[in-house]
Amino acid sequence: MEMPQPDQSILNRKNMIVEKLHSVLPADAVIHDPAETRAYECDGLAAYKCPPLCAVLPATTEEVAAVLKICHAEGIPVVPRGSGTSLAGGAMPTADSVILGVARLNQVIETNYPDRTITVQSGRTNLSVTGAVETDGFFYAPDPSSQLACAIAGNIAMNSGGAHCLKYGVTTNNLHGVKMVMMDGTIVDIGGAHLDAGGLDLLGVICGSEGQLGVVTEATLRILHKPEGALPVLMGFDSAEVAGECVSDIIKAGVLPVAIEYMDKLCIEVCEDFAKAGYPLCEALLIVEVEGSELEIEEQLSKIKAIAQTHNPVELREANDADEAARIWLGRKSAFGAMGQINDYMCLDGTIPVSELPFVLRRIGELSKEYGLDVGNVFHAGDGNMHPLILFDANTPGQLETCEALGAEILKLCVEVGGCLTGEHGVGIEKRDLMNAQYTDADLEAQMQVKDVFDPNWLLNPAKVFPLKDSETRRAAA
């Protein structure tokens, strides 16, 4: 992975920069010993590593502002970091950058049930937002798979989704406001507990901007009352096409499940070996979950089962209680872990129109043969957000490169059928140089000029999102 050459003049000034950062932060909040900065050398995309110049862990918005002012004045790139779970390299540093970690910003600021909002510091983990309100019956809806570890700051940066976003939407649909520090240290409040923007929807463009427009330190989020209950049903089919048609028919019938998850045969087998969830060994498996009271669940499930029956499922299994429900989810939830047990893998998240599902799955199968690497498919079928898992062996020379080339082919395929490169993981460095497949120069220029406004010197997370050659002159001017 190509990254810009570090600025030697910054590397030379390391001691002075560390000293300046020390002057505005507690001693233990500046990490500069090379043995310790290695903890920040990569994120969830662990194939690429580079220790930063140093890392800082501010505990207040004011400390964040003080750090950014120094970096702005010194012209030092800053890479914001939530919990470092990005699968796209969104928090990967360069050698001349300061990692700004928000982990110490983890407090709940205000819980407001009458208005159904919670305001938290951005380093708080996704699951602990729900943790703060669940005893009162509420929850925060976006549920990325990494929700135990991932921070709200990262969720906002990547506009993260999750299994249940078919009903509840992704981060941007559940975010009302932020407190954000601009690269020059200016602190701004955008949005609030009210529901819409009074002028341009700046919040809308900040969410999903991969930490390139500002550092979010606080967020006001929508919370919802938990449904009375939820129950999944499992269906097995003997072809991907039929499973795809079944998904489409469920949606057309007006039933809106909270989740529709798909697994193909390879994934089923691997998960079955690992988790022993009792899945049928068929070509395609769907897990469909509905919510509500017992009566409502029954009403929805009876409609879903009736639709499934018209497609001759090889298996149709209901959960009769919480235990059986947990067993149905067990295999799906352990899918990535199970894959990791048998192989190295690369997880893509291209999204396609659901009508293209059978074609894309068939084509992925062909590409898999062509490149000689197995690809498992597990994904959110209701919204077309695929997760092809390319299996490879990192110890075999050349396999990572082959895997990357296959990944690029699959993502281009997603774009060709009317979809996109990434549905929820973000571009980061991983998909940066594929952006030209989806966007014209004018499209990219329009996005880059937004960064010009928020961060004129291109210091915030500069080598991400845009193809290096497209952002080169802007980064060089900094």
Which residues inside 297-356 make contact with other proteins, applying CB under 8 A?
Answer: 299-300, 303, 351-355
Interface residue with other proteins among 111, 239, 343, 447 (CB under 8 A) is 447
Other CB atoms within 10 A of residue 15 CB: 9
According to the binding rule CB under 8 A, does residue 453 interact with other proteins?
yes
Of 112 and 341, nearer to other proteins (C-beta) is 112
Interface residue with other proteins among 83, 119, 125, 422 (CB under 8 A) is 422
Note whether 408 and 416 are within 8 A (CB): no
According to the binding rule CB under 8 A, does residue 423 interact with other proteins?
yes
According to the binding rule CB under 8 A, does residue 202 interact with other proteins?
yes
Residue 104: is it exposed, middle or buried by C-beta count within 10 angstroms (0-12/13-18/19+)?
Answer: middle
How many whole angstroms separate alpha carbon 91 and alpha carbon 69?
20
3-state secondary structure string across 380-399: EHHHCECCEEEEECCCCCCH
According to the binding rule CB under 8 A, does residue 255 interact with other proteins?
yes
Region of 73-81, 165-173, 270-278, 335-343 interacting with other proteins (CB under 8 A): 165-173
Interface residue with other proteins among 6, 75, 131, 204 (CB under 8 A) is 204
Of 79 and 230, nearer to other proteins (C-beta) is 230
Of 32 and 387, nearer to other proteins (C-beta) is 387
Interface residue with other proteins among 249, 315, 404, 433 (CB under 8 A) is 249
Residue that the structure tokens 């798979």 belong to? 145
According to the binding rule CB under 8 A, does residue 431 interact with other proteins?
yes
β-pairing, 230-237 vs 284-291, is: antiparallel
Min separation Cβ 326 and other proteins, Å: 21
In a 3-state reduction of DSSP, which class is residue 338? helix
β-pairing, 187-191 vs 230-237, is: unpaired
Which residues inside 28-87 make contact with other proteins, applying CB under 8 A?
Answer: none
- Of 53, 41, 55, 54, the C-alpha closest to 92 is 41
According to the binding rule CB under 8 A, does residue 109 interact with other proteins?
no
Region of 52-60, 145-153, 182-190, 274-282 interacting with other proteins (CB under 8 A): 182-190
Region of 8-16, 65-73, 102-110, 202-210 interacting with other proteins (CB under 8 A): 202-210
Radius of gyration of the chain (CA): 23
Interface residue with other proteins among 4, 192, 280, 358 (CB under 8 A) is 192
Note whether 217 and 61 are within 8 A (CB): yes
Min separation Cβ 105 and other proteins, Å: 21
Would you state the torsion angle of the CA atoms of residues 84, 88, 90, 95, taken in this order, to the nearest 10 degrees? 90
Interface residue with other proteins among 11, 46, 73, 197 (CB under 8 A) is 197
Interface residue with other proteins among 71, 427, 429, 463 (CB under 8 A) is 427
How many whole angstroms separate alpha carbon 94 and alpha carbon 108?
32
Q: Which two tokens stand for residue 299?
A: 């009403």
How many whole angstroms separate alpha carbon 271 and alpha carbon 280?
11
Which residues inside 349-408 make contact with other proteins, applying CB under 8 A?
Answer: 351-355, 380, 382-385
Min separation Cβ 253 and other proteins, Å: 8
According to the binding rule CB under 8 A, does residue 190 interact with other proteins?
yes
* Angle between helical axes of 294-309 and 240-252 (0-180°, round to 10): 130
CA distances from 436 to 90, 347, 411, 469 (A): 19, 21, 12, 11
According to the binding rule CB under 8 A, does residue 473 interact with other proteins?
no
Other CB atoms within 10 A of residue 114 CB: 5
How many whole angstroms separate alpha carbon 59 and alpha carbon 29?
8
- How many residues bind other proteins, per CB under 8 A? 97
According to the binding rule CB under 8 A, does residue 454 interact with other proteins?
yes
Interface residue with other proteins among 253, 306, 322, 405 (CB under 8 A) is 253
Which residues inside 145-164 make contact with other proteins, applying CB under 8 A?
Answer: 158-159, 161
Min separation Cβ 8 and other proteins, Å: 31
Interface residue with other proteins among 5, 33, 323, 442 (CB under 8 A) is 442
Interface residue with other proteins among 37, 94, 126, 172 (CB under 8 A) is 172
Interface residue with other proteins among 261, 344, 424, 470 (CB under 8 A) is 424
Q: Which residues of 171-203 are buried (b: 16+ CB within 10 A; e: fewer)?
A: bbebbbbbbbbbbbbebeebbebeeeeeeeebb
